[in-house]
Amino acid sequence: MANNTLEEVSHKEEKKYVFKDPTFDSTKTVNGKKKLWRSLKQITAQERNLPWPENTIYYSSISAPPSFKPSKKYSDISGLIAKYKDPQTSLYYAGHEEFSTVRNLPSDIITGYLTLRGSYNPIG
Amino acid sequence: MSEEVILLKDLKLVPDKYYNYTQALKNSKTPIVIDNGSFTCKAGWATSKTPNLTFKNILARPRKERGKKDGETLIGNDIPNIEAVRFQLKSQFDRNVITQFNVQEQIFDYTFSHLGIDSNGSINHPILMTEPVANPNYSRLLMSELLFECYHVPGICYGIDGLFSYKHNIGKKTGLVINCGHHTTHIIPVIKGTPDLLNTRRIDVGGYHITYYLHKLLQLKYPAHYNAITPSRAEELLYEHGFLAVHYTDMLKKWSDADYYDRNVKRIQLPYSMTVVLTPDQQRDKRREMAKKLVEMNARKRDEKLAEDEEQLQQLLLIQEMIDDGEPIEEVREVLKSHGLKNEKDLRKLISDLQTRIDRAKSKIAASLNASNVEEHVTEEPKLRLFKNKIQLPKEDTISKTWLKDIYKRRQDIIDKKAVRKQRRQDMAKRGTAASLERMRLISQLARKDKRDDDFGSRDEDWDVYKVINKEGGDTDSDEEQEKITELEEIIRFYDPTFVSSNTNEEQNPKEAHQLHFGIERMRCAEVLFQPSMIGCSQGGITDTVEFILKKYNAETANALAENLFLTGGPTKLPGFKERVYRELREMRPLETNINVKLSNSPLLDSWYGAKEFANSGDFHKYLLTPEMYAEHGGDYFIENYCSNMYCPLPEAIQEPEGLSEQNQEI
C-alpha cells in the first residue's frame, strides 16, 4: 500500500502539464547558475534611482506619508493608555498594578514587546 | 457574567476539485479571470457565476532530504494543515508585488490544471489578471514573459483589484477607494470613473500585520502556550471575535473597568490533554508498590545467587574431599583446572570466600524476614531521594527546632542572595547609581594608559575585578540554586506542613490553564490599520492618509470624494470598520459636508466579480496585450484600461531593453 502511494507521488511529480511550452526554462539558468529572483527592495531601489519624468508613478512614489499627529502610547502588556514608561525596560505601562508585572518580566518577553513595537535597540 | 468558553475550530482546508474542460469552453475564447491577491487567489472562467477556484496563494515545498524521495509540492487548498508545513511555505509575493516567478509558475500550473485545460502547448484563452497599484515594470515584464513564453496565451490584460471592486459596487461615480489588502492598504481617488493614480497612496499595513500582531501579542501574554498559539489560530480569532473600535481611547477606558472586561472578554479554550494528576496519597501508594516490587526482585536475585553459591561450594567441597582422600595428583589437577583454579591454596581460599558470602546472604535474608518492615522501608524512600545535595538530616528523634531553623535560614539566604543580585542588575541598568559609578571607575582604571609597572594578572585576585565589572555581577541565577531552594522547601514541608512555598504556582485545573483571555486584543490588533505606529510603522494610518489625499483637491472635489468612500478587501469585514472610518472622517471634514461610507458587498470576492464584468464587456478585446505587442514594445508594456495602472515606461536615460531580465544581481 505504502509502495503504491509512493509511486503515485513520483508519478505526479514527473507530471508534465500539456499546456506548457516544454522548451520554457523555468529555472532560468544563466551560465549554469540558477537565477536569483530580485527582491522587492532591490527592484524599488533601482526604480528610485531612475530619472522619472513628472506625472508618472512608481512603487515608492505612492508610499503614504508619515502621520503628522504624535503617536499615542499604549501599555505594552495590557494595551491600555500608557501614562508611564519604565526607564529600565523601556516598556510602557498604565498604572502601578502593571509596574510590578513589568519589572518581573523575563528579558525575552521584554525584548519581544519592544521588537513588536519596533523600538528594540540592542545597543541600549 | 458570561463564563462561556469558546472552542477553536481549526478548520482544515478542503482540496479544490478539478473542473471539466467542456467542448464549449475549448472552442470559445472565454477569458480566464485571475484575481491574484497576496492572501488568496481567485480564479475562474469569465462565464462562471463565482470564481471556480479560491485558494491561499501559497505552496508548501517539502525540504529535500538525502536518501528520501522528494515529497510532493502542495499548493493552496491541497495543504491540509498549514501549521504542519509552516516552515516550508513559499509565496510568490514580496509584500504585495510578485517577485518569485518560479512559485507563480507553479500556481499557474495548479490554476490551469484545476480548470481542466488540456490543450497542447498553449492556453488558448486571454488572461485578465490583477496587479498592485504601481506594480514595478520589472515585475510586470516577468509576468508577461511567463504567460507568453511558457503558456503562450493569446492576450493579457492587467487591472487593479480595488478598482474592479469599485466598478462592480459603485460604477462610474467619483469616490475614494480604500482597499485593504493582505500586506498593503491602498487609497485610490476615482474622479468621474477615472482613477487618479498620481494621488493614490499606499500604506504598508494590511491584514497580515493584524494577524501577526495578534499572534505575537498572545504569544507574549501566554509564553507557556507559545507553540499552541499559531498564526492560523490568530487569524481565526481575529475574524471570529475581532472588531474595530469606533472610538479607540473611549473603548480602552471602558475595558479598564473590571466588570466590563469580564463581560466582554472571550475565553478561548486551547486543546489540551488531561494529564493524570495523582493525589499525594495515590503517589505514596504507587511509590510503595514500586518499592515492594523492587524489594521482591532483590530478594529473588539474592535467593538465586545464594543457591548458585551453595552449589559451587558443594562442588568445591567435593574436590577438597578428593584431595583429602589422596586421589592421584593428575586427576586432582584436571578437576581443579576445569574449575579455573591453579592449586590447592586457591581452592581453599575460594571455599572460605564462598562460605562467608553465603553466611552474609543468609543473615541478610533472616534480617529482612525478621523485620518485615517493608512499609517503613518504603516511607523512607522519598526522604532519601532528597539528599543528593548532601543536606544532613538528623536522626528522627533528634530533629530539633534549631535544626529546622537552620534549614529555614539557608533557604532565606539563597532567596536574599537572589534579591541582592536582582537589585544589583537594576542598579547597573541605571547610570547614576553608586554601583554603576563604581563599575565605571574600575573600568577606566583598568583602561588607563600609563601602566609602567603593570603587574596585573600576576595574582589570582586580580582577575576578580572582571567579576565586579561584569554587568551580571559575575554570576547568574543558576538552576542549581533554584534546585536547592526546592529541595530545602521540600524538607521544610515534610516537617512543617503549614509551610507555604515562595513560588508555588497556583494549581489550576488543566482546562483553565489552557484558556486564553482574548480581551483588549480583540480591538487592539486591528487598530494597527489606523495607528501603524503601534507596530513601529512610521506611515500614517488610513484616516491620516485619506486626509492627506483630500487636501490635494479643491473643496468641491474633496467633498465629492468624501461623499463616496468605498471599503473593500478582507479586513474591512471586521465589525466597526465602516463606523470607524465615518467617525474619523466626520471629525476631520467641515461640518456642513456629507460623508458616506459604503462597504463592499463581498469584500473578498468583489474584485473578481468586477474583473469578470470587464472581461465580458464588449470592448475587452481592445485592451488585450497580444504577443506581437509584447515583442514590439518590450516586456513591461501593456494597454491601459479604466481600471488599470498608468503605463510609465522606464525613463530612456538608463533604460536597459533586454538587460533587465538578463541581469543576475548578486546579493
Please state the three-class secondary structure of B322-363 as a single string: HHHCCCCHHHHHHHHHHCCCCCHHHHHHHHHHHHHHHHHHHH
Beta carbons within 8 Å of B251's beta carbon, 6+ residues apart? B245, B523
B149–A27 CB contact, under 8 Å: no
How distant is the Cα of B60 from the closest Cα of chain A, in angstroms? 14
B151: number of Cβ within 10 Å: 23
A40–B99 CB contact, under 8 Å: yes
Q: Within the 196-255 window of chain B, which residues sit less than 8 Å (CB to CB) from chain A?
A: 197-198, 200-204, 213, 216-217, 219-221, 223, 249, 252-253, 255
% residues pLDDT > 90 (chain A): 34
pLDDT at B162: 94
Alpha-carbon Rg for chain A, nearest whole angstrom, is 27
Could you tell me how many helices (H) and strands (E) chain A has, helices first?
4, 2
pLDDT at B68: 61
pLDDT at B666: 46
**Residues in chain B closer than 8 A to A43 (CB atoms):** 97, 99, 136, 138-139
How distant is the Cα of B169 from the closest Cα of chain A, in angstroms? 25
A65–B539 CB contact, under 8 Å: yes
B120–A37 CB contact, under 8 Å: no
Beta carbons within 8 Å of B81's beta carbon, 6+ residues apart? B12, B13
pLDDT at B70: 64
φ and ψ of B97, to 5 deg: -110, 140
Q: Within the 58-97 window of chain A, which residues sit less than 8 Å (CB to CB) from chain B?
A: 58-59, 61-69, 71-72, 74, 77-81, 87-88, 94
With contact defined as beta carbons under 8 Å apart, do B190 and B175 qualify?
Answer: yes
How distant is the Cα of B155 from the closest Cα of chain A, in angstroms? 15
pLDDT at B245: 94
B-chain residue closest to A107, CA distance: B220
With contact defined as beta carbons under 8 Å apart, do B645 and B200 qualify?
Answer: no
pLDDT at B83: 87
Supply B213's cell numbers. 500582531
Q: Within the 535-594 window of chain B, which residues sit less than 8 Å (CB to CB) from chain A?
A: 535-541, 544-545, 548
Question: Above 0.85 for ipTM, yes or no?
Answer: yes
- H or E, element range at B460: none
Q: How far apart are CA B521 and CA B221, in angstroms?
A: 10
B-chain residue closest to A59, CA distance: B134
Interface test with A, best of B138, B140, B188 (most A CBs within 10 A): B138
A-chain residue closest to B98, CA distance: A40
φ and ψ of B517, to 5 deg: -95, 110
Interface test with A, best of B94, B477, B521 (most A CBs within 10 A): B94
B36: number of Cβ within 10 Å: 23
A56 touches chain B (CB under 8 A): yes
pLDDT at A42 over 60: yes
Among B623, B567, B574, B640, smallest CA distance to B165 is for B567
**Residues in chain A closer than 8 A to B648 (CB atoms):** 52, 56-58
Among B569, B572, B575, smallest CA distance to B607 is for B569
With contact defined as beta carbons under 8 Å apart, do B515 and B270 qualify?
Answer: yes
Interface test with A, best of B199, B217, B251 (most A CBs within 10 A): B217
Q: How many CB pairs under 8 A join A and B?
A: 193
CB-based burial, B363-384: b 16+ in 10 Å, e otherwise: eeeeebeeeeeeeebbeeeeee
Give residue for cell 475549448.
Answer: B26
A-chain residue closest to B546, CA distance: A64
Q: Is B648 helix (H, G, I), strand (E, B) or coil?
A: coil
B536–A27 CB contact, under 8 Å: no
Q: How far is CA B84 from CA B179, B350, B497, B572, in A?
A: 31, 66, 47, 29
pLDDT at B370: 73
Q: How far apart are CA B51 and CA B32, in angstroms?
A: 10
- Taking chain B (667 residues) in runs of 10, the rounded mean pLDDT of each run is 76 88 89 94 94 93 69 86 87 93 92 92 93 94 93 94 94 94 95 93 95 95 91 93 94 92 91 72 86 90 90 86 78 78 81 89 81 50 47 59 82 84 73 76 78 73 75 62 80 72 58 87 94 93 94 94 94 94 93 92 94 93 93 90 90 55 47
CB-based burial, B85-113: b 16+ in 10 Å, e otherwise: beebebbbbbbbbbbbbebbbbbbbbbbb
Supply B168's cell numbers. 462592480
**Residues in chain B closer than 8 A to A19 (CB atoms):** 112, 117-123, 151
**Residues in chain B closer than 8 A to A81 (CB atoms):** 249, 252-253
A1 touches chain B (CB under 8 A): no
pLDDT at B57: 93
User: Which residues sit opposite B41 in a β-bridge?
Assistant: B36, B55
**Residues in chain B closer than 8 A to A80 (CB atoms):** 252, 255-256, 520
A-chain residue closest to B656, CA distance: A50
How distant is the Cα of B533 from the closest Cα of chain A, in angstroms? 6
Q: How far is CA A82 from CA A79, A106, B297, B421, in A?
A: 8, 20, 66, 29
B170: number of Cβ within 10 Å: 18
B616: number of Cβ within 10 Å: 14
A26–B105 CB contact, under 8 Å: yes
Q: How far apart are CA B185 and CA B166, in angstroms?
A: 15
Among B601, B542, B10, smallest CA distance to B244 is for B542
**Residues in chain B closer than 8 A to A53 (CB atoms):** 651
Query: Nearest CB to A47: which of B105, B136, B531?
Result: B136
Query: Nearest CB to B136: which of A12, A26, A43?
Result: A43
Q: How far is CA A38 from CA B94, B145, B399, B638, B657, in A?
A: 10, 16, 76, 22, 17
Q: How far apart are CA A124 and CA A122, in angstroms?
A: 5
A-chain residue closest to B221, CA distance: A77
Q: What is the pLDDT of residues A6-41, one digit of tens each?
A: 444 444 444 678 888 888 876 666 676 777 889 999
Beta carbons within 8 Å of B73's beta carbon, 6+ residues apart? A13, B59, B60, B61, B62, B106
